[in-house]
Amino acid sequence: MKSPGETVGAEAPADIYRWYVLGVLMIVYAFSFMDRQIVSILLEDLRAEFLLNDTQLGLLSGIAFALFYATLGVPIARLADRSNRVRIVTIAITVWSTMTALCGLAGSFWQLFLGRIGVGVGEAGGGPPSHSIVSDYFDEKQRSVALSIYSMGPTVGSFIGLAAGGWVAQEYGWRTAFFAVGAPGVLLAVLLFFTIREPIRGGLDAVRAAPAKEGFGQTVSALISNRVWFWNMLGHSLSIFVGYGFSTWKPALYLRQFDLTQAEVGSIIGLMGLCVGIPGLFFGGLIGDKLVARSRKMALRYIGYANLLVIPFYGAGLMAEGWLMTTVLLGLGLVLYQLGYGTSLAIGMSAVAPHRRALASSFGFLTANLLGLGLGPLLVGVISDAAQASFGARSLALSLGICLSALVLAFICFWIASNAVQRESDKI
């Protein structure tokens, strides 16, 4: 019997076990996102409790978490490229879950701000090592589907966080909501540690991993000079800028514009993500794997067009008068948004050598989360505050609409990445 964290043999892992690993890591990601996003359904409670404006709420939901989450991800990923990734993720879950629960004890804006920093510190060790683990359990032919399924975690986590968090906050208060979503993560850490084995690094790739003796500067230089990886990562980050802006502020948008309770808003938005987000990711991954098998260039352009088509649906949803029509339009936009998500991650992982994957993923997280999670919610809040005098309750919708322009830039980045694909490596 293998001990926890022991490396698997050279043979490919059994199908049932690798899907189990993927399922557990998806649940870990769900808990991560649940703890990360719980604050979004509580924004109006926190505004009333601490007398905050939208800019402060944007800081609390964005920069407080993203700054340390993104920057610490790089050194942790460097460690993950050289050591046991399962143990790193186990420690990360324990830290972020504990800090989420402690947010329920905050007595001021700054105490809550520090608590959110602690959540970001913990979650810095979750994503990049998990991406690397998944990439070593699934080969390139199945990597888009595998990473798409892994990426269902945020959808599941958002549903639980918004629906359950909204109900708990409405019935028992916002402090109890933090406790309720944070505490169970410690049990998940125990499950991960005792049941998930560390895979061979690059064991399923055509070219086996080189010894991890490459200097940090050499690795960074190799990544930056990789135009497919670089422009794909930048396009993915700009897309996430819009995704985080909407996911953070949608609950507040519904509460301000429609006559709905907190529990109703949490259920509506959570179900919307669950019902359309998961199919979008899954079928997007299937389409992506087929396109990648034919041509990386074609796959990258598919991602770009999917992002571009989000704009009219999200824009129309922001202008709709009733919550039902708003939900339908935002839901259709979300399907398109999710279609290319897993494929973009898979191309990013496949474009770099196995011994650089965790670090490459961490740079993607760094850019995506400083730009998306850090700047996205904050910028939406700043524009909303500036437009408040002229647009009143519609200022938040206006702000979100302005931020949709980032998807045009994302389309351009994916197009550049597609043109960077070399003819000799186009067929894979």
The tokens describing 427, both together, are 């067929």
CATH class of 15-201+218-423: mainly alpha
Tokens 């839901």 sit at which residue? 331
Residue 193 CB coordination number (10 Å): 17
Say how many CA atoms lie within 13 Å of 346 toward its Cβ. Answer: 35
3-class SS of residue 279: helix
3-class SS of residue 322: coil
Instruction: Report the alpha-carbon distance of residue 301 to residue 293 in Å, rounded.
Output: 14
Say how many CA atoms lie within 13 Å of 417 toward its Cβ. Answer: 30
Q: Are the C-beta atoms of 255 and 54 separated by less than 8 Å?
A: no
Q: Are the C-beta atoms of 89 and 129 separated by less than 8 Å?
A: yes
The model's pTM is 0.68
Q: What is the mean pLDDT of residues 305-318?
A: 95
Measured in degrees and rounded to the nearest 5, phi and psi for residue 161 equal -65, -40
3-state secondary structure 27-67: HHHHHHHHHHHHHHHCHHHHHHHHCCCHHHHHHHHCHHHHH
Instruction: Report the alpha-carbon distance of residue 153 to residue 193 in Å, rounded.
Output: 19
Give the tens place of pLDDT for each residue, 141-176: 777 788 888 888 887 887 887 778 888 888 888 899
pLDDT value at position 53? 80
Give the tens place of pLDDT for each residue, 330-353: 999 999 998 888 888 888 877 887
Q: Calculate ∠ Cα 58-60-61, nearest 5°.
A: 65
pLDDT value at position 125? 84
Q: What pLDDT band is residue 304 in, cutting at 50, 70 and 90?
A: very high
Instruction: Report the alpha-carbon distance of residue 289 to residue 283 in Å, rounded.
Output: 10
